[in-house]
C-alpha cells in the first residue's frame, strides 16, 4: 500500500482518505481535498487500494479492501500520533471504510466522513436498502457529504437511509452538486466554490471533536 500525507504546520485532526473506484489517490479531486483541508488545519493520509496499485480496473474483494482500510488507519495513527482520526473517502472508498467499521471498529477512528456515498448503482435505487444495511452497525458518527444530483444516491433512498440512522448521521448537502461534486454553470457558482463549501462543512463538523 502506498500513501500520501499532507499536513499543515499545526494540525488539529487527521482524515484517512480513500479514493473512489475509478481514480486513485493522485486524482485532482483527491489532491484538492487534501490541500484544502490542510488550509483548515486538518491533515490527511491518502492511500491506494491494491487493485489501483496494480493498474487493474476491477475493485478488490471486500475482505482485501477492508484490510487495506485498517492498514491505512494504523499508518495514520503512527504518523499523526495524538491527533483525532476520522476515516472515510470518496464513493467506493467511503463504502469500504464503513463496511470495515461495521465489522470491527477501526482503532482510534472517532467518526466517518463520506464524500458521495454510493448507495446504489446508477438507475437502481432499489438496491439502496441492501447496500445501506451495514450502516446501522457503525458505532461512530457519520458525515454524509452529498449532492442532490448524485445518481448513485437518489434523494428518496438517501433521505430514508440517513433518517433511519438518526443522530449518528449528519448530512452536508452541497446544493446543485452531482456524485463528483460538480455543479452546473447555470446554477450561478463554480466547482471551486462548491468544493470550498464541502471543505468548510467538514471542518465545522470536526470542530466539536477538536474542541473536545
Distances (CA, A) of 21 to 31, 51, 73, 101, 114: 16, 10, 19, 19, 14
Lowest mean pLDDT among 74-83, 97-106, 174-183, 191-200: 74-83
Cα 201 to Cα 5, 71, 143, 145, 182, distances in angstroms: 21, 27, 9, 8, 16
Summarize pLDDT for 165-212 with one digit per residue, the tens. 999 999 999 999 999 999 998 888 999 999 999 999 999 999 875 444
Flag whether pLDDT at 48 surpasses 50.
yes
Ramachandran region, residue 110 (left: φ > 0; alpha: ψ -120 to 50; beta: rest): alpha
Q: Please check the confidence at residue 141 and state whether its pLDDT lies above 60.
A: yes
Report the pLDDT value the prediction gives residue 210, as an integer from 0 to 100: 47
Rounded to two decimals, the pTM is: 0.95
Q: Tell me which H or E stretch contains 81.
A: none
Whether pLDDT at 161 is above 80: yes
For residue 207, the enclosing domain spans 3-211
Cα 19 to its chain centre, rounded Å, is 8
pLDDT at 28: 96
pLDDT tens-place string over residues 14-47: 999 999 999 999 999 999 999 999 999 999 999 9
d(C-alpha 186, C-alpha 47), whole Å = 35
- How many domains, in total, are found in the chain? 1
Whichever domain contains 163, its CATH number is 3.40.50.1820
pLDDT of residue 27: 96
Q: Answer positive or negative: Cα dihedral of 105, 107, 146, 178.
A: negative
SS3 1: coil
Amino acid at each position: 500500500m502506498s500513501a500520501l500525507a499532507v499536513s499543515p504546520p499545526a494540525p488539529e485532526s487527521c482524515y484517512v482518505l480513500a479514493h473512489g473506484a475509478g481514480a486513485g489517490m493522485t486524482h485532482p479531486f483527491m489532491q484538492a481535498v487534501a490541500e484544502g483541508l490542510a488550509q483548515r488545519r486538518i491533515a490527511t493520509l491518502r492511500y491506494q487500494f491494491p487493485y489501483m496499485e496494480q493498474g487493474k480496473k476491477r475493485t478488490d474483494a471486500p475482505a482485501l479492501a477492508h484490510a487495506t482500510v485498517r492498514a491505512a488507519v494504523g499508518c495514520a495513527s503512527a504518523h499523526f500520533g495524538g491527533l483525532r482520526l476520522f476515516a472515510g473517502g470518496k464513493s467506493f472508498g467511503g463504502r469500504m471504510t464503513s463496511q470495515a467499521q461495521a465489522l470491527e471498529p477501526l482503532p482510534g477512528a472517532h467518526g466517518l466522513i463520506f464524500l458521495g456515498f454510493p448507495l446504489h448503482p446508477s438507475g437502481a435505487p432499489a438496491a439502496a436498502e441492501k447496500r445501506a444495511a451495514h450502516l446501522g452497525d457503525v458505532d461512530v458518527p457519520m458525515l454524509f457529504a452529498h449532492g442532490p444530483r448524485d445518481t448513485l444516491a437518489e434523494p428518496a433512498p438517501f433521505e430514508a437511509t440517513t433518517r433511519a440512522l438518526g443522530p449518528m448521521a449528519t448530512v452536508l448537502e452541497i446544493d446543485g452538486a452531482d456524485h463528483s461534486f460538480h455543479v452546473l454553470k447555470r446554477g450561478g457558482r463554480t466547482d471551486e466554490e462548491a468544493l470550498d463549501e464541502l471543505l468548510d462543512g467538514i471542518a465545522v463538523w470536526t470542530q466539536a471533536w477538536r474542541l473536545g
